[in-house]
Amino acid sequence: MTTPSNPQPSNPSENQNTPPLAQLPATSEKFVIPQPQLRQNPSGDSLGTLVIITAITVMVLGWVLQIIPLLLAGALVTLLSSLRITLPAVQRWVIKFLTPSERKILIGTLGLLAASAGFAEFLGVFRQIQRWLQNNKWDEFGSWADWFGAVGQIMIAILAVYVAWQQYVISRDLTIRQNTITQQQTIDAYFQGISDLALSDEGLLEDWPQERAFAEGRTAAILSSVDAAGKAKILRFLSQSKLLTPLRRDGLLGRAILDGAGGYAEDRVHGLRVIDLGVMLARANLSGTDLRWTDLSAAYMIGADLSECDLVKANLARTVLYDATLRGADIKGIRLFYGHVEAATPRSLTLPPNYENGAHTGAVVERVDFTGVERMSEEQRYYCCCWGGEKTRATIPGGCEGIPNKLGR
């Protein structure tokens, strides 16, 4: 048997269901295979190069034979052909390496130089310089080579200083970025360590004084080794985690008691803080940081720099702010005391606080700089004027006229 020249497919149904090529739907745009771009014909570039070489040859012949028209024609063709090749390359370089603003500055500088040259020509400055050059005896000043050599050395020295400065700037930026990354890694490790202690089987460092001591030691160590932004991150973490808030404790096991609303019950009188800041923030620099809703109550912040801070709703009751700076800080809604402003007094080392009428629950605001603070309420102003002393009263916006100085000094 002879084999047919056009064998039929094994499955006739496939042949019947397959539409002819002309009836296939057009390919969607998203599935179009991009066609490779054709390379440009190099004959144009070769022709331009040949034209430049020919024009240079004609220009040299005109120069040697002293045929001025031939010289000018060769020079003109060489100039136009060279500009046709170099201008696009210069344009691409400018677009690649100069931003739009830098291009504007470059054009503006060229315009300024051109305008200066035009005014100098109009005012005769160039003629004066030419006359001065002609009247001086340049033999006394040495040869031009010496002058150009000295100028070249000066320019090289300036260039070397510029390169060294750029290297210093780059090295400084890299160091700052590396320090920022290292600090963030340190803070993350601290967060993980504190979380592991707080989320142990006992929970929230409740009945293990040694673990609380370790947590306070870690906190004191890291607060002394990070910048202002790092300190603010740590304080916000500890405050939002209720690790700085005095919590109500079980009388037998010391475990924190729930408030029945999904949180821990606070106890300002007999409560125990997981981490007591103590003097960790004394003389600390926290300027320009975000400390909103942060519980800093009862902390010793003597001489701390809180200028330009966002302290909205922060708790500073019983906080020692002696000699601190709050210049330009936003203090809307901060708590400086409990109870009534008329009965509120600063904290005492010997007398217990009374959170009902406010006695001995207030912050120590003596010698505090409140210059330019934003959104200070009338109650805050009254309390600071009463218990801030003369130096504090002189910095309070709106003054303290009519408010007694209960501190007496």
| CA-to-CA separations, 6 to 2, 3, 18, 258, 288, in angstroms, rounded | 12, 9, 17, 87, 85
Q: What is the pLDDT along the chain (409 residues), one digit of tens a residue?
A: 444 444 444 444 444 444 443 444 444 344 444 444 444 455 556 777 888 888 888 888 888 888 888 888 888 888 888 888 888 888 888 888 778 887 888 888 888 888 888 888 888 888 888 887 777 665 655 566 677 778 888 999 999 998 999 899 899 999 999 999 999 999 999 999 888 877 766 555 655 678 888 889 999 999 999 999 999 999 999 999 888 999 888 877 777 788 888 888 889 988 888 899 999 999 999 999 999 999 999 999 999 999 999 999 999 999 999 999 999 999 999 999 999 999 999 999 899 999 999 999 999 999 999 999 999 999 999 999 999 999 999 999 999 999 999 998 8
Domain positions in the chain: 44-98, 190-273, 277-409
pTM exceeds cut of 0.75: no
Count other Cβ atoms within 10 Å, centred on residue 321. Answer: 28
Number of Cβ atoms within 10 Å of the Cβ of 330: 20
3-state secondary structure of 256: strand
Residues making up the chain, counted from first to last: 409
Task: Give the closest residue to 238 by CA, choosing from 218, 224, 258, 255.
Answer: 218
- DSSP type of residue 398: T
Nearest partner of 247 among 228, 270, 225, judged by Cα:
270
Alpha helices by DSSP H, 257-334 = none
Q: What are the DSSP calls for 113-163, one per residue?
A: HHHHHHHHHHHTHHHHHHHHHHHS-GGGG--HHHHHHHHHHHHHHHHHHHH
Contact 299/278 with Cβ under 8 angstroms? yes
The C-alpha atoms of residue 383 and residue 335 are separated, in whole angstroms, by: 11
| Residue appearing with tokens 């002394």 | 224
